[in-house]
Structure 1
Amino acid sequence: MQLNRKAYFFTLLTILFWGGAATAFKTALSQISPITLLSLSSVISLLVITILLISNHKFRLLTQLPTKQWFYLLILGAINPFLYYIILFEAYDRLPGQVAMSLNYLWPVMLALLSVPILKHTLNRRSLFSILLSFLGAVIIATAGDFSNWGKLDTFGLILVLTSTVVWASYWLLSTRLKVDATIKLFIGFLSGSLLSVIYALWNNQLLINLDNIPWLSVMYVGIFEMGFTFFIWLTALHLTSNAAKLANLIYLTPFVSLMLLAIFRHEEIYFTTITGLMVIIMVILAQKYWQKGFSKKTLN
């Protein structure tokens, strides 16, 4: 019982920290470019992960990792954090926070689609209907429920946020194939990603700015809580609980916390259609998990 209470506490922290990410993104991007935000926050995240690696006495595992796995993880770092976050931050820079955040939750749907060519999965009618319903939720968010609004939002921004879901789903599929300690995986990924981010920022003259003009609080929030530390809080919660599925469902409260924080700190007017579209997407994701669980039980029986 005590362990479960701790698990719920860590889960609530995870929801709160990840829920504040959209607000931190928009606050930082109101003062600096997406490239600058990525380069600074990824370096901060790398430092946090390095501290966690040393404190958990896992640094020696780096020397035991085969060269092939090192190379594979460095390549993954080019996908996430580098490619994923540069696309996502650019989308946030162009769109209202509520739209970018809500549409980003389409990644499990993209995961289901990509699993067909990559993992050779098949989609039944129920899965196809779920995917179509999810995209309907996305359309509701993008148009605020009125098709006459189509085109009023930045079209390229919408393309970017949808692309970010494909990139994240691809990273997830490629990453889960590699059985490596999570801390090691993140460290090497951010070692590669932060290096690429800094090089890209320098190439575009995006780091040659006055340090006093950088919103350090928001940048540090992104680096510490969005990219790094919170992932380990979430892993701790899953490790402590006797019911991981229940915690996994609770994590879908995060986008609604994000909407609340965007309204409070960024003064965004949260549209009813955003909540409606987001609820459609989340309900479909949860329904798919339930159906997959039921299918697994039937298979075992």
Structure 2
Amino acid sequence: MTSTSNQKQAMLYGLATVLLWSTVATAFKLALADLAPVQMLLVACAASVVVMAVILLVQGRWRQVFKLSGRQYLQSFGMGLINPCLYYFLLFGAFDRLPAQEAQPLNYTWALVLAYLSVPFLGQKLRGLDILAGLVCYAGVVVIATRGQVASLSFSDPLGVSLALGSTLVWASYWILATRDTRDPVVGLFLNFLFGFPVLALVCWWTVGLSLPATGSLAAAVYVGVFEMGVAFVLWSHAMKKAENTSKVSNLIFISPFLSLVFIYFILGERILPSTYLGLVLIVGGLWLQQQKVRQREKVLNED
């Protein structure tokens, strides 16, 4: 298969992933209408475990689940406490408190947090461009969190904003740890969710109970588990494997937050504030600046 064909397939996989990512903020809010965050997480985790098991069976990789070492199974439990347990608990908690148009852009700053954490933990260098990207990104965070009242620095919901930003720290930390993960990516994610599920069930039972309403919220939680936690991960993995130019595929993620606002407006009926548009442009602009490092590295590799 030619490199042009591979790149086209990568772009198609990437676009499909971006489309799914663009719907999940709306699905989060629909699920949280009748479910507590931990209940939503329990349902989504269960759906994700099922869909990833099916994917492994279809791809002929199911046997790999049983061929890991004891240390790797222990690793699966530890990673499962981070993702899905802690990360999604913080993220869903943020969406429970904030409008989707605020929580969703704040979550996108995780890529910048990852760049900063890579300095002490992966030995990467912090450049002036990274600092500038951070200033631009977090200027957008302040604009969104204050709903445009920047001078007052009065956050609309300090706890909700803290949960959203906390989730970016957890998610970035998860990917730092994942750089040392030798498991097959889908097998690893499946086991993380499988080991995380009993913990979530126990916490759910202890706090809000296991009684779930048979409403649209339940269907929305299943949707999140199937597509955001399962299918999207596999599609994005395929996109990265097929890509001859990964930066072109990676750039597709910048479409997602803007497309997400379309779903939020038409399905949730949220009036999109001018501060959301301005803050989102700043956040995406900061992330674009930070991505220049990746583009430069890829250009050097291609020249070699």
TM-score (norm 1): 0.92
Across the aligned residues of Structure 1 and Structure 2, the Cα RMSD in angstroms comes to 2.0
Count of residue pairs brought into register by the alignment: 300
Q: Secondary structure at the match of 1:20?
A: helix
1:129 aligns with 2:129: no
Which position in structure 1 is the counterpart of 2:275? 273
Q: Structure 1 residues 152 and 165, CA, compared in 2 at 3 Å: closer, same or farther?
A: closer
Q: Which residue does the alignment assign to 1:290?
A: 292
Indicate which of 169, 178, 188 corresponds to 2:172: 169
- Whether the 8 Å CA contact 1:35–1:206 is kept in 2: the answer is no
Q: C-alpha distance in 2, partners of 1:34/1:135?
A: 26
What secondary structure is seen at the aligned counterpart in 2 of 1:145? coil
Q: Label 1:10 to 1:125 Cα distance change in 2 as closer, same or farther (>3 A).
A: closer
Look up the match of 1:33.
36
CA distance, structure 2, for counterparts of residue 230 and residue 291 of structure 1 = 25
| Shift in alpha-carbon separation, 1:83–1:159, aligned structure 2, 3 A | same
Tell me the distance in 1 between the aligned counterparts of 2:290 and 2:155.
Answer: 32
User: What's 2:231 paired with?
Assistant: 229
> 2:45–2:84: 8 Å Cα contact kept in structure 1?
yes
Q: Secondary structure at the match of 2:244?
A: coil
Aligned to 2:71: 68
**Equivalent residue number for residue 110 of structure 2:** 107
Alpha-carbon distance in structure 2 between the residues aligned to 1:212 and 1:285: 40
Q: Specify whether residues 253 and 148 from structure 1 end up closer, same or farther in structure 2 by C-alpha distance, changes over 3 A only.
A: same
* Distance in 2, Cα, partners of 1:26 & 1:216: 12
The 3 A distance-change label for structure 1 pair 81 and 56 is: same
> Of the candidates 244, 257, 260, which is equivalent to residue 258 of structure 1?
260
Contact 1:114 1:170 in 2 (8 A): yes
- Are 2:94 and 2:160, in contact at CA under 8 Å, matched by a contact in 1? yes
SS in 2 for 1:168: helix
Q: How far apart, CA to CA, are the structure 2 residues paired with 1:10 and 1:298?
A: 26
Q: Counterpart of 1:89? A: 92
In 2: Cα distance, 1:241 partner to 1:121 partner:
24
Equivalent-residue separation in structure 2 for 1:37 and 1:149 (angstroms): 35
For the pair 1:184 / 2:187, whether they are aligned, the reply is: yes
Q: Does 1:201 align with 2:180?
A: no
Separation of aligned partners in 2, 1:56 and 1:111: 31
Q: Which of 51, 58, 62 in structure 2 is aligned with 1:59?
A: 62
Which stretches in structure 1 are left out of the alignment for 5+ residues? none
Kept in 1, the 8 Å contact 2:109–2:168? The answer is yes
Contact 2:79 2:192 in 1 (8 A): yes
Q: Is contact 1:32-1:214 (8 Å) kept?
A: no
Distance change >3 Å, CA 80–CA 257, structure 1 → 2: same
Identity %: 35
Q: Distance in 2 between matches of 1:50 and 1:266?
A: 32
Alignment TM-score, normalising by the size of structure 2: 0.92
Question: How far is the alpha carbon of 1:183 from its aligned partner?
Answer: 1.1
What is the deviation of 1:157? 0.5
Instruction: Indicate if the aligned counterparts of 2:28 and 2:92 stay in contact, CA closer than 8 A.
Output: yes
- Measured after TM superposition, the shift of residue 296 of structure 1 is 6.9
The AA in structure 1 aligned to 2:68 is L
Which residue in the other structure is 1:48 paired with? 51
Distance 2:161 2:169 in 1: 13
Which region of structure 1 is more displaced relative to structure 2, 53-62 or 99-108? 53-62
In structure 1, which of residues 244, 247, 262 is the aligned counterpart of residue 246 of structure 2? 244
Contact 1:42-1:81 within 8 A present in 2 as well: yes
